[in-house]
């Protein structure tokens, strides 16, 4: 943005003081019927955090039960329901919508310099569909007895309690929310970019969300069909998956993973997308190999469609199919590796600031590296035969999903919190929380790698005595992790109640979203922006654009100098 052509960002902040998106309209109705993508994003964030809390409580229940072999605090049947709910809530209600629906909704239009998404009404519709799906899911939890695992494998799920129908209907509905959001974002990225924002300047966050949207639109319908078939089988006893009715249970696994493997990339790509922004900001440097990183997101999205079979190496597929899926699976390592190498290379010759968002981003790189490399073990056929369905797999996907996506999500929340709320938070508390979360996470899940390689099967309520010390360590880690989240929650609540007022660009970032006022103007920018530089062109920025205090202080400081 040159000084002549565009509005000086920080002057807009002062001229629209008090007219942020949070306060320009008031009352419950102004929220429930809002078409503002920022408010919808905030409502998503609220419901997603509630789901995260619920799923987290389930996780602690699971870990508490597993501290000792045999019955510790609940029966096997109860335990099976609890771990099912932990998985289903975390996957469908939390991780899948977390970054795209909450942070994506809020920042995608701003980073494009647009006023809103392409279809604001559809956007609100997606939110209410998400809520409807959530209601179905919660009803299934309260009324029924869902103990199938989040994968709903047949024929167990076909014979289980009818509340499984409620649960699958809930997930079915949630899928539509996901599809519509994807369509909306794709249209927005194609059509709503500000003048001057060509594809080579597109923020990498947008590239990541764009790749995610493609998967959401293409893969989610398959899940919808699968769950619909499952529901039809259960209600009308049509034989599709249940061998007792003439169906094929392995067919369900193919259908299910045809969605759920791409869904893994729906989960991880947005996490990577956030990390790009954070690393660029806190190194004051454009991401190394920008185009390679952008294309690696797209290629992950595409390759992600071809590797579903690696969930089924022991399921009874032909040896040829197994071979092909194993070979394709290794291709995933290439774009993942490209990203990690480029992030590390971005640190080189940067100017690195270790604020809490950056700590989570660096934590992401470390944990994703471990999560990714342990994926190699599972891609190697002969090794997978031993590790399949053991705690090794559990640890692997938690390293990718929690160490990856959740760390990315937390990094994003810490990073954009001042922009969203207009408040700063206590950095010391945030670092304490990070330390607890990072240590707790590693203690919880690294011990599970060891257990898994020793043959501890997953989804076990009871286990052999030899695994007890490691289970104990894992549970201890889970409590540290939980404590970290409590500190974080307290830190954010404190910020909302009594946090300092945030300047428009507290991290001194060159990113487009930091050019607008804080809290964000209801129309994102007071005047439509024109992009004259890339979002990471620190060397092209004027001093004023990177100023991390209040604009009026900048003038003062300049005068003093």
Partner 1 sequence: MYYFVYWVSVAFTVAIFAAMAWFMWKYRRRPGVKAKPTGHATALEITWTFAPLILLVILFHEGFTGYVKGAVAPEDSLEIRVRGMQWNWEFEHRGGVIDDLNYLRVPVNTPVRLVMSSSDVLHSFFVPAFRVKRDVVPGMYSTLWFEATHETPDVTCEQDADCPEGLWCGNVPPGEMDRKCALPIFCTEYCGAPQGITASAFDEGGRNSNHSTMMGDLAVITTEEYDEFIEAGPPPPAACAGREDIAECWGEKIHQQYCVACHGVDGAQQQPAPNWKGLFGNQRQFTDGSSAEADENYIRTSILQPQSQIVQGYSNVNMPPFRFSDNQLDAIIAYMRSLNE
Question: In terms of CB distance, is 257 or 290 closer to partner 1?
Answer: 290
Question: In terms of CB distance, is 71 or 555 closer to partner 1?
Answer: 71
Of the residues 233, 277, 384, 513, which one makes contact with partner 1 according to CB under 8 A = 384
Question: In terms of CB distance, is 114 or 202 closer to partner 1?
Answer: 202
CB 277 within 8 A of CB 266: no
Work out how close the CB of 316 gets to partner 1 at its nearest, in angstroms, rounded to a whole number: 5
Q: Which of residues 361-380 bind partner 1 (CB under 8 A)?
A: 362, 365-366, 369-370, 373-374, 376-377, 379-380
Nearest to 335 by CA among 207, 200, 438: 207
State the residue for tokens 């947008």: 206
Work out how close the CB of 383 gets to partner 1 at its nearest, in angstroms, rounded to a whole number: 5
Task: Output the DSSP codes for 239-266.
Answer: -SS-GGGT--HHHHHHHHHHHHHHHHHH
Question: In terms of CB distance, is 21 or 512 closer to partner 1?
Answer: 512
Question: In terms of CB distance, is 48 or 275 closer to partner 1?
Answer: 275
Of the residues 388, 414, 423, 521, which one makes contact with partner 1 according to CB under 8 A = 388
Q: How far is CA 207 from CA 190, 233, 333, in A?
A: 11, 40, 19
Q: Which of residues 344-363 bind partner 1 (CB under 8 A)?
A: 344-354, 362
Work out how close the CB of 9 gets to partner 1 at its nearest, in angstroms, rounded to a whole number: 21
Q: Is 423 helix (H, G, I), strand (E, B) or coil?
A: strand
Query: Helices 163-191 & 204-236, crossing angle to 10 degrees?
Result: 150
Q: Which stretch binds partner 1 (CB under 8 A): 204-212, 488-496, 518-526, 532-540?
A: 532-540
CB 147 within 8 A of CB 187: no
Question: In terms of CB distance, is 68 or 119 closer to partner 1?
Answer: 68
Quick check: 538 binds partner 1 (CB under 8 A)? yes
State the residue for tokens 């009874």: 316
# of chain residues touching partner 1 (CB under 8 A): 97
Question: In terms of CB distance, is 125 or 289 closer to partner 1?
Answer: 289
- Phi and psi at residue 390, in whole multiples of 5°? -110, 180
CA distance 218 to 227: 16
Question: In terms of CB distance, is 345 or 432 closer to partner 1?
Answer: 345
Work out how close the CB of 44 gets to partner 1 at its nearest, in angstroms, rounded to a whole number: 31
Question: In terms of CB distance, is 156 or 485 closer to partner 1?
Answer: 156
Work out how close the CB of 359 gets to partner 1 at its nearest, in angstroms, rounded to a whole number: 11
Q: Which stretch binds partner 1 (CB under 8 A): 169-177, 260-268, 434-442, 536-544?
A: 536-544
Question: In terms of CB distance, is 18 or 70 closer to partner 1?
Answer: 70
Work out how close the CB of 455 gets to partner 1 at its nearest, in angstroms, rounded to a whole number: 3
Of the residues 457, 476, 528, 549, which one makes contact with partner 1 according to CB under 8 A = 457
Nearest to 23 by CA among 495, 519, 498: 519
Work out how close the CB of 531 gets to partner 1 at its nearest, in angstroms, rounded to a whole number: 18
CA distance 120 to 247: 43
Site string for partner 1, 104-143 (x = CB under 8 A): ----------------------------------------
Question: In terms of CB distance, is 186 or 328 closer to partner 1?
Answer: 328
CB 94 within 8 A of CB 55: yes
Question: In terms of CB distance, is 351 or 498 closer to partner 1?
Answer: 351
Q: Which of residues 137-196 bind partner 1 (CB under 8 A)?
A: 145, 147-149, 153, 155-156, 159-160
Task: Show the tokens assigned to 237.
Answer: 């006893």
- Phi and psi at residue 75, in whole multiples of 5°? -85, 165
Of the residues 139, 383, 450, 483, which one makes contact with partner 1 according to CB under 8 A = 383
Q: Which of residues 208-267 bind partner 1 (CB under 8 A)?
A: 243-244, 247-250
Q: Is 521 helix (H, G, I), strand (E, B) or coil?
A: strand
Q: Is 457 helix (H, G, I), strand (E, B) or coil?
A: strand
Nearest to 168 by CA among 190, 186, 187, 146: 146
Nearest to 116 by CA among 520, 545, 530: 520
CB 283 within 8 A of CB 351: yes
CB 430 within 8 A of CB 436: no
Question: In terms of CB distance, is 21 or 538 closer to partner 1?
Answer: 538
Q: Which of residues 256-285 bind partner 1 (CB under 8 A)?
A: 283-285
Q: Which of residues 301-340 bind partner 1 (CB under 8 A)?
A: 314-316, 319, 322-323, 326-327, 330-331, 333-334, 337-338, 340
Taking phi first (over 0 means left), then psi (-120 to 50 degrees means alpha), and beta for anything else, what does residue 459 get? left
Work out how close the CB of 255 gets to partner 1 at its nearest, in angstroms, rounded to a whole number: 15
Work out how close the CB of 117 gets to partner 1 at its nearest, in angstroms, rounded to a whole number: 30
Work out how close the CB of 143 gets to partner 1 at its nearest, in angstroms, rounded to a whole number: 15
* Cβ density class 492-503: b for 16+ within 10 Å, e for less: beebeeebeebb
Q: Which of residues 459-478 bind partner 1 (CB under 8 A)?
A: 459-466
Of the residues 119, 341, 446, 485, which one makes contact with partner 1 according to CB under 8 A = 341
Positive or negative CA dihedral for 231, 232, 238, 240? Answer: negative
Q: Is 112 helix (H, G, I), strand (E, B) or coil?
A: coil
Of the residues 3, 5, 11, 71, which one makes contact with partner 1 according to CB under 8 A = 71
CB 253 within 8 A of CB 311: yes
Question: In terms of CB distance, is 65 or 116 closer to partner 1?
Answer: 65
């Amino acid at each position: 943005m040159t000084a002549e052509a565009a509005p000086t960002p920080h002057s807009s902040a002062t001229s629209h003081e008090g007219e942020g998106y949070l306060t320009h309209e008031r009352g419950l109705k102004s929220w429930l019927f809002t078409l503002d993508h920022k408010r919808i994003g905030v409502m998503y964030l609220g419901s997603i955090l509630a789901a995260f809390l619920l799923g987290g409580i389930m996780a602690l229940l699971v870990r508490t039960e597993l501290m000792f072999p045999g019955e510790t605090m609940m029966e096997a049947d109860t335990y099976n329901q609890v771990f099912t709910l932990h998985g289903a809530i975390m996957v469908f209600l939390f991780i899948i919508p977390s970054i795209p629906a909450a942070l994506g909704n809020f920042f995608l239009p701003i980073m494009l310099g647009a006023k809103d998404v392409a279809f604001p009404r559809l956007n609100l519709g997606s939110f209410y569909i998400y809520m409807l799906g959530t209601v179905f899911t919660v009803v299934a939890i309260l009324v029924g007895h869902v103990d199938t695992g989040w994968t709903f494998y047949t024929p167990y799920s076909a014979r289980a309690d009818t509340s499984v129908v409620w649960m699958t209907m809930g997930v079915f509905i949630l899928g539509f929310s996901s599809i519509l959001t994807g369509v909306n974002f794709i249209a927005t990225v194609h059509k709503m970019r500000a003048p001057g924002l060509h594809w080579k300047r597109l923020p990498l966050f947008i590239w990541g969300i764009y790749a995610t949207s493609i998967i959401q639109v293409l893969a989610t319908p398959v899940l919808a069909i699968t769950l619909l078939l499952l529901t039809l089988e259960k209600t009308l006893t049509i034989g599709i998956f249940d061998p007792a009715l003439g169906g094929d249970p392995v067919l369900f696994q193919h259908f299910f993973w045809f969605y759920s493997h791409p869904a893994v990339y729906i989960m991880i790509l947005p996490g990577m997308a956030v990390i790009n922004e954070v690393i660029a900001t806190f190194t004051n440097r454009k991401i190394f190999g920008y185009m390679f990183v952008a294309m690696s997101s797209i290629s992950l999205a595409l390759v992600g469609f071809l590797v579903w079979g690696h969930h089924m190496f022991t399921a009874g597929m032909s040896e040829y199919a197994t071979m092909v899926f194993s070979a394709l699976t290794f291709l995933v390592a290439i774009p993942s590796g490209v990203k990690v190498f480029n992030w590390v290379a971005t640190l080189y010759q940067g100017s690195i600031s270790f604020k809490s968002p950056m700590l989570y981003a660096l934590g992401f790189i470390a944990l994703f590296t471990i999560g990714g490399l342990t994926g190699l073990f599972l891609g190697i056929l002969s090794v997978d035969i031993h590790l399949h369905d053991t705690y090794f797999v559990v640890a692997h996907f938690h390293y990718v999903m929690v160490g990856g996506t959740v760390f990315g999500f937390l990094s994003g929340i810490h990073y954009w919190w001042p922009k969203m709320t207009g408040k700063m938070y206590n950095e010391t508390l945030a670092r304490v929380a990070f330390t607890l979360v990072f240590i707790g996470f590693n203690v919880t899940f690294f011990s599970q790698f060891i257990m898994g390689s020793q043959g501890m099967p997953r989804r076990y309520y009871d286990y052999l005595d030899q695994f007890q010390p490691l289970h104990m360590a894992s549970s201890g880690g889970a409590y540290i992790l939980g404590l970290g989240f409590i500190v974080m929650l307290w830190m954010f609540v404190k910020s909302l109640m009594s946090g300092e007022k945030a300047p428009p660009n507290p991290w001194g970032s060159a990113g487009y979203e930091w050019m607008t006022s804080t809290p964000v103007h209801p129309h994102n920018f007071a005047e439509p922006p024109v992009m004259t530089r890339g979002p990471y062109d620190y060397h092209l920025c004027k001093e004023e654009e990177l100023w991390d205090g209040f604009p009026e202080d900048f003038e003062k400081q300049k005068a003093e100098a």
